[in-house]
Amino acid sequence: MAVAERRRTGAPIYEGSRIPQPTPTVLRTPPDLAATGDILTVNFGPNHPSTHGVLRLVVDLYGEDVTGLEAVIGYLHTGFEKNMEQKTWWKAITYPERIDYVSFQNNELVFVLAIEKLLDLQVPPKAEWMRTCLCELNRLHSHLVWLGTSALELGAISMFWYAFRERDQILDLFEMVCGTRMHTRYFQAGGLAEDIPRGFFPEARKFCDWMPRAIDDYETLLTRNQIWLERTQGLGLLSAADAVALGQSGPVLRASGVNWDIRQNEPYLAYGKIDFRVPVYPAGDVYARYRVHMDEMRESVRIVEQCLDRLETMEGDPWIADDRKVVLPPRHELHTSMESLIHHFKIVTEGYRVPEGEVYVAIESPRGELGCYVVSDGGPKPWRVKFRAPSFVALEATATCMSDALIADMIAIVGSLDTVMGEVDR
């Protein structure tokens, strides 16, 4: 089957399970094909323009068909978890951001939520809503980067510039609030590092007014584009049962027809009080994942608008918890209160202590379920931190999705799984 067949649009999801045996993550060439001697093993090495970051795929090709696939990862292993054990809780918050470097605030959020769960610390409502707002802006950012790079790899090169135009606007908003474009380190245990600056709300509103029109532009370019449809429909099929068995979450799971979104089913932050839809498409192919991403972008804009509505009424409210044992006291108190000075000193030099325990917190990052398992021994430094990265699990599904794919399809499929190698390798 060396020539591509024309795929029927709306191809049905397959019967049974396509998870390869015995190893779910390795697609092996069937022995009869291997015996023909026509198999070419190609290395899509760690440096490749089309794999998202440093992913290595060792692929067996029979003509243009992909008959065998194994993903080799670890080229970006940074030892985050071990490094975080050496730093105090406060300093360790800078590390998770770099794990999934496209949706950085979600990573900070999950670690900070884990600390707050262990500390049993209540976060003021203003901080909850602002965290929600920033995480949704980050979801938009992540989906825009995904859209730009995935479309670029499939040949729709101009999408990159359009997506990054909006992305720069979002980064301007981050810079206004948090001081820097990426890796903002704005969340603290207990709330936010600083108050929301004046001028943020009008700028954010301007962005929210503009963004739906930009998403309409993207959809005009791609959603009914014949080339895009032919390159994405019917590819990378993953049934709902296989997706659940393989631990998929996020857009990949929702594109296979499973209605599961942690924001909706296990609400955290302010999501329980916000009205938003969760897009679910049953087709289970690359096109369905694309549609899920686009619809999620629209929903994120709506969520941000609702957060802004609510935040504008909270002018002057506290943005961080009051517990001086964990949170730095406001600076003006240091001039008058001895206890504040001592608290400040202890927190800065030694760090706050988190009571003994273990906790697993999961949030819905743009890629799926991002989990953080934290073990504390009661001291100023974490004992063990483990991040459950959705991209790590998504790459486990490449072998299953790759049944009757061609080389060109492989790029589309790996792109649709929305992997960020920083997360995969940690």
Partner 1 sequence: MALEGRLRDAGMKSERLLWPTKGPSRFEQEVDDLERRVGLTTLEKAVAWAQTNSMWPDTFGLACCAIEMMSIVSSRYDIARFGMEPFRGSPRQADLLIVSGRVSNKMAAPLRQIYDQMLEPKWVIAMGACASSGGMFNNYAVVQSVDKIVAVDIYVPGCPPRPEQLMEGIIRLHEAVRAGVPPAYEIRSVAS
Partner 2 sequence: MSLEDVPGLVEVKEAHGETTVVVEPTELVAACTYLRDEEGFNFLSDVSAADYLGWGRAGVSGYVGTPVGRDLNRPMTQGYQALPGAKPKRFAMSYHLLQLAERPRRLRVQTWLDDGEAVPTVLGVWPTADWHEREAWDLMGIPVDGHPNLKRILMDDDWEGHPLRKDYPIGGEPVRFSGEE
Residues that bind partner 2 (CB under 8 A): 19, 22-26, 73-74, 77, 79, 81-83, 86-87, 117-118, 120, 244-247, 258, 260, 265-266, 350, 353, 356-360, 362, 369, 371, 373, 375, 377-380, 383-384, 386, 388, 392-393, 395-396, 425-426
CA 273 – CA 376 distance, rounded (Å): 31
List Cβ neighbours of 237 (8 Å cut-off, separation of 6 or more): 11, 13, 14, 18, 284, 285, 401, 403
Residue closer to partner 1 by CB (options 160, 290) is 160
Residue closer to partner 1 by CB (options 142, 400) is 142
E-state strands within 26-142: 26-27, 39-44, 56-62, 65-72
Is the CB of residue 102 less than 8 Å from the CB of residue 144? no
CB of 360 to partner 2, least distance (A): 5
Q: Which does 357 bind (CB under 5 to 8 A by kind): partner 2, partner 1, none?
A: partner 2
E-state strands within 248-397: 357-365, 368-376, 384-388
CA 123 – CA 269 distance, rounded (Å): 9
Q: Tell me which stretch binds partner 1 (CB under 8 A): 75-83, 207-215, 282-290, 394-402.
A: 75-83
CA 221 – CA 202 distance, rounded (Å): 29
- Which listed residue (14, 41, 168, 315) binds partner 1 by CB under 8 A? 168
- Burial class of residue 141 (count of CB atoms within 10 Å of its CB; 0-12, 13-18, 19+): buried
Residues in the chain: 426
- The mark string for 36-55 relative to partner 1 (x by CB under 8 A, - otherwise) is ---------xxxxxx--xx-
Residue closer to partner 1 by CB (options 70, 404) is 70
Closest by CA to 75, choosing from 52, 91, 105, is 52
Residue closer to partner 2 by CB (options 10, 74) is 74
Q: State yes or no: residue 422 binds partner 1 (CB under 8 A).
A: yes
CA 167 – CA 327 distance, rounded (Å): 32
Residue closer to partner 1 by CB (options 148, 351) is 148
CA 291 – CA 215 distance, rounded (Å): 12
CB of 269 to partner 1, least distance (A): 24
- Per DSSP, the chain holds a count of helices (H) and strands (E) of 18, 10
Q: State yes or no: residue 83 binds partner 1 (CB under 8 A).
A: yes
- Which listed residue (71, 328, 410, 421) binds partner 1 by CB under 8 A? 421
Q: State yes or no: residue 160 binds partner 1 (CB under 8 A).
A: yes
CB of 34 to partner 2, least distance (A): 18
Q: State yes or no: residue 7 binds partner 1 (CB under 8 A).
A: no
- Which listed residue (74, 197, 202, 378) binds partner 1 by CB under 8 A? 74
CA atoms within 13 A on the CB side of 48: 19
- Which listed residue (11, 13, 33, 182) binds partner 1 by CB under 8 A? 182
Residue closer to partner 1 by CB (options 98, 386) is 98
CA 420 – CA 367 distance, rounded (Å): 9
Q: State yes or no: residue 181 binds partner 1 (CB under 8 A).
A: yes
CA 330 – CA 139 distance, rounded (Å): 31
CB of 381 to partner 1, least distance (A): 15
What is residue 336's three-state secondary structure?
A: coil
Q: Which does 117 bind (CB under 5 to 8 A by kind): partner 2, partner 1, none?
A: partner 2
Q: Which does 54 bind (CB under 5 to 8 A by kind): partner 2, partner 1, none?
A: partner 1
Q: State yes or no: residue 117 binds partner 1 (CB under 8 A).
A: no
CA 305 – CA 311 distance, rounded (Å): 10
Q: Tell me which stretch binds partner 1 (CB under 8 A): 5-13, 112-120, 161-169, 189-197.
A: 161-169
Q: State yes or no: residue 79 binds partner 1 (CB under 8 A).
A: yes
**Binding residues among 91-110 for partner 1 as defined by CB under 8 A:** 94-95, 98, 101-102, 104
Tokens encoding 146:
């995904």
What is residue 36's three-state secondary structure?
A: coil
What is residue 387's three-state secondary structure?
A: strand
Binding site for partner 1 (CB under 8 A): 45-50, 53-54, 74-80, 82-83, 94-95, 98, 101-102, 104, 145, 148-149, 160-161, 164-165, 167-168, 171, 181-183, 421-422, 425
